Structure 1
Amino acid sequence: MKKVLPIAIVLMGSLSFGAIANNSHMNMSTNVAQSNSPMNQELMDSMNKMHENMAKGMNSANADVAFAQGMIAHHLGAIDMAKIELKYGTDPEMRKLAQAIIDAQGPEIEQMQKWLEKNNTNMQNN
């Protein structure tokens, strides 16, 4: 009994946290969907495009190829969102972060694309 009670408390707490996190995510999605501003529409469009392309990229049976393809889509989505921040955002810290994301992820995309050019063909021939 002494062991069961602490375990039950931990499980209840983790379930509660999961419900709160899920509810917060749902509220965020609802709030964004209710806003019809051009900025919100651009963010939603970029996120939907990113998720669709990530799913397509992860269809490979090879883990390395799926990772690279999925991450390229993810990074392109991050760059799109960063560009939207630069277009609409006014906070200097967030604008600086957006530019840093663009600067960092562009070369990473190039690295993964070059890897895919070299390795994806070899893997398809095996």
Structure 2
Amino acid sequence: MKKIIVTILFFANLTGVAFADSHQHHSFSGVMMDDKMMVHINHNSNIKYSEDGNVAFVQAMIPHHEGAILMSQKQLPKITDPEIKKLAENIIIAQKKKLNS
């Protein structure tokens, strides 16, 4: 169970969930986001969201899912734990499906 919690926290941090209130922290245990990820986050933080809550939610989720894919793809080659590697692979598959639906 502890391993699962650590894994969830790891990926929550990579996707910005852990630091939703502050964009000053974009690293976890020495894992730094590369320039492509930072441009993606900074570009998408300037999106003008709809006044309609339903539309705004979908607008916000698109870059969230794109970020999860980018970060999982970047870390996948470095992951040695089979369980975490499978989690990263599943995140990529699931997020791509969500973006295409």
| TM interval, short-chain normalised | 0.5 to 0.7
Deviations 1:25-66 (A, max 9, x none): 79xx38x49x5xxx6242x7525623641551x621121211
Cα distance in structure 2, aligned partners of 1:93 and 1:73? 26
TM superposition outliers: structure 1 runs of 4+ over 3 Å: none
Secondary structure in 2 matching 1:59: coil
- Provide the aligned C-alpha RMSD in A: 2.9
Q: CA deviation at 1:78?
A: 0.4
1:30-45 equivalences under 5 Å are: 32=27, 40-42=32-34, 45=36
Cα distance in structure 2, aligned partners of 1:41 and 1:108? 23
Map of 2:64 onto structure 1: 74
Map of 1:46 onto structure 2: 37
Unaligned runs of 5+ in 2: 1-18
Which structure is higher in RCO with an 8 Å CA cutoff and minimum separation 6? 2
Does residue 109 of structure 1 match 2:95?
A: no
TM-score by length of 1: 0.49
Amino acid at match of 1:72: I
Higher-Rg member (1/2): 1
Secondary structure in 1 matching 2:77: helix
Map of 2:3 onto structure 1: none
Map of 1:94 onto structure 2: 84
Task: Provide closer, same or farther for how the CA distance between residues 47 and 99 of structure 1 changes in structure 2, counting only shifts above 3 A.
Answer: farther
Map of 1:116 onto structure 2: none
Cα distance in structure 2, aligned partners of 1:105 and 1:54? 19
Unaligned runs of 5+ in 1: 1-24, 112-126
Cα distance in structure 2, aligned partners of 1:77 and 1:84? 11
